[in-house]
A and B are shown apart, each in its own frame.
Chain A
Amino acid sequence: MGFDLAFALSSVPTILGAIGTTLGVAFVSCLGAAALGFLFDMLRRIGGVVGLAIGFVIDFIRSTPVLAWLYFLYFVLPFYGIRLGSLTVGVLGLSLYYSGYLAEVFKAGIDAIPKGQSEAARALSLSRRDALIYVIAPQMLRNIAAPLGNYFVSILKATPYLAVLAVPEMLGRAFDIASETYRYTEPLVVAGLIFLVLALVISHGVKRLERRLLAVGAR
């Protein structure tokens, strides 16, 4: 049989047609993971029992596979009468799973700001709110920009997991073609290459961004 290049090329438009779904899922999941991760890190900073509990939740998430979380949400939520589309469940699963990682990104990004920065803001009589908006937040955003970009790539590469929930993203499209034609190799290779190119291009962009931020940020 071998590899049929013409057939592979003919599958490209169908698979690429789902690139919007793939990128959209990745983007929304990344936002969700960032929001939840930020919340986790803030709650962890409260300390005490709350801090310990949140720390354990983060450890638990990081010790369990994303596939298990997707099954968990997909089958458990309906058991409690919560009926969501598979796309929503997929986005929720990716957001939850990666929030455990982004909580650490926020932790590192905030802890890397020297204590002297907020002290200087206080010595200049800036209000707490102004210190947060003009001194702390911009430095935190700069610290997390590159790791956040790298996690966006990770999330993007995890979107094909949603094929197991029958979400019509690119891997799902590739399997649709495969099951119609009984030829698996070509559509899967095409889907794999598209993901590889996407990941490499975005990673390259993140690296350039990182270099630019470093150039201005030397203390």
Chain B
Amino acid sequence: MPMSLFEIWLGILQGLGTTLTVTAYGLVFAVPFALVFGVAQYLTRGVARLLVTGVIEFWRSSAVIILLFVFYYALPVVGVTLSALTVSAMVLGLNAGGYASQAVRAGLQAIPAGQKEAGAALGLSRPAILFLIELPQALIAMSPTFVNTLIQLVKATALVSLVTLTDMTFRAKEIAQVEYNPVAIYTALLLAFFVVCYPIALAGRWLEARVAAPGSRSSGV
């Protein structure tokens, strides 16, 4: 008996756990990378900045699908054995982190110099100025960009189906092997991702409207 559209959808949603796990695990890589390398690119000069930029550009400007395959196939060759889940989370996370690091850096650069000077005039140390004055403002201002990067990360998890993880995309292909109903299966797959990503996009839009409000809190600090 052929599966109903609803059954197909439920079958695909069995992969939702993997999709969300890779996303969450990816954030474990993405968030620290974005913060550390974004701040480092902002603070360093000369050779140090070149090195920081090099690492960021490697993760950001590479084709993420190739990065995934390279690390999946090459790490065991050099003696590093990681699970497919860890490799996927690392590659997708650091790729997203590379994008987010640019938002962190741009957010820090966009803060008027007067903020740093005001902090120094109050006798704050350089780290205190960074953590108490600059970073909070930069992260709030760039929060809509981070939300967009999160959506990109969720969508990029579809790639893990290519390295044998049973995410929603993998489930769709499994179902397609026992059921010839491509229209229902791939429509359901698109809908499944839409249901996950669209609320995030709406939240991002809400954030953007709030952040863009005139007289944002930077003037009050």
Contact = CB atoms under 8 A, between A and B. Distances in A.
Whether both chains belong to one complex is answered with yes
Interface of A: 1-3, 59-60, 62-69, 71-72, 75-76, 78-79, 153, 157-161, 163-164, 171, 178, 184-185, 188-189, 191-192, 195-196, 199-200, 203
A177 B61 CA distance: 24
A149 to B, nearest CB: 14
Contacts of A199: 61-63
A65 B155 contact: yes
Given A65-B156, A192-B66, 13 more contacts: A2-B78, A60-B198, A63-B151, A63-B194, A72-B190, A157-B63, A171-B65, A192-B62, A195-B63, A195-B66, A196-B57, A196-B61, A203-B61
A36 to B, nearest CB: 17
Closest 4 CB pairs of A and B: A184-B73, A63-B197, A75-B182, A65-B158
Contact of B169 (A60, A65, A76): A65
A160 B194 contact: no
Contacts of B155: 63-66
Given A68-B186, A79-B183, A157-B64, A185 B77 contact: yes
Nearest to B180: A79
A151 B78 CA distance: 35
Interface residues of B, number: 40
Contacts, number: 120
Contacts of A164: 162
A203 B78 CA distance: 32
Chief secondary structure at chain B's binding surface: helix
A160 B186 contact: no
Interface string B41-65: 0000000000000000110011111
B14 interface: no
Nearest to B173: A71
Contacts of B197: 62-64
Chief secondary structure at chain A's binding surface: helix
Nearest to B189: A68
A62 B58 CA distance: 25
Interface in B172-215: 172-173, 176, 182-183, 185-187, 189-190, 193-194, 196-198, 201
B186 A71 contact: yes
Contacts of B58: 196
Contact of A160 (B57, B63, B173, B189): B63
Nearest to A184: B73
A164 B170 CA distance: 13
B31 interface: no
A195 B61 CA distance: 8
